[in-house]
Amino acid sequence: MKKLLLKIVLIQTIFMVGCVRNNEEIIEIKSDDLITMENLDDYMFRDDVQYVDLRNFESRFLSGFIYSFEVIPFFDYLDYRAFNRNDTYIFSPDQIINEQEMLRLFDKEKTIFLYADGCIRSGYIKDVLAYLEYDKVFVLGGFFEYDGEYKVLGDGSYNFGDTFYNSYYDENTELTYIFYGELDMSRKISEIRFDIINDDNSSIRSTYMINLISVDTELTILENYIVYDLVTFTELHNSLSNLDDSGYSSISQLDSTVIDNLLKLIEDFVPVK
């Protein structure tokens, strides 16, 4: 009997020590912490964090997902239900049309981690939640940036063509250019989005160029035209390389540095002749 009691006490002691150690390993999250895809694994499976994937449901099957993240689709659900952006990613309070829906979906008592394919959608949601007085909201980055332990690759169940992603770092401006999207079955670009990230891992789409032209507006115009033009990577590369001949010069007012960096993104997908 004494041996049995000793074993029970020993088991309880080990359990209690283990609990203390686990509690000591929990990292306190502060609002000014830098939490990205690079160190996400250090903050996984916490009860005080809401993990949110803002992509549409088909992206989970097509490209994959990060385990434990719930899906709250930006385009398929939040757009025109919780807010009306008027085709911009620059947040304004008058864009909110259903504040209660945002409060219902996003837990105000928790820290919130956001990701999508890039930082544009997450950045917009962060601005909305900041306006609604959420305290700790983190934009982790794009799904393709995550190389951690909990990535689950897609099986292509929603694959009507193919997805693409690329990034390019401009050492002169210290900005990272990103683009991603989808191709149809004929290898034409059916969806494309660009983003430009500074060294704080924040999108600069909401800023203005020297000539007071909105970066977001000009990139959106270019993205929409590319989809409308229905081009391959080779055709897009040729058009941006010869702006005057292709007519693309009249589509967007982006400066030559931005165009050159966009070409760096695209050229990796152009077949070598």
Each residue's pLDDT tens digit, 199-219: 877 788 878 766 677 888 888
CA 106, 111, 115: angle at the middle one, nearest 5? 70
The strands making up 49-53's β-sheet, listed across from edge to edge, are 70-71, 49-53, 111-116, 137-142
- Say if residue 19's pLDDT is above 50: no
Each residue's pLDDT tens digit, 29-66: 999 999 999 999 999 999 999 999 999 877 776 778 89
List C-alpha distances in Å: 133 to 50, 108, 126, 151, 194: 16, 8, 10, 31, 29
The phi and psi torsions of 27 (rounded to 5 degrees) equal: -85, 125
- Say if residue 268's pLDDT is above 60: yes
CA-nearest of 27, 64, 30 to 46 is 27
**CA-based torsion, 33, 38, 41, 45: positive or negative:** positive
Q: Which CATH class is domain 40-152?
A: alpha beta
pTM check: above 0.85: no
CA-nearest of 192, 196, 221 to 207 is 196
Which residue intervals of the chain bear CATH 3.40.250.10? 40-152
- Say if residue 117's pLDDT is above 70: yes
Gap between the Cα atoms of 181 and 8, Å rounded: 58
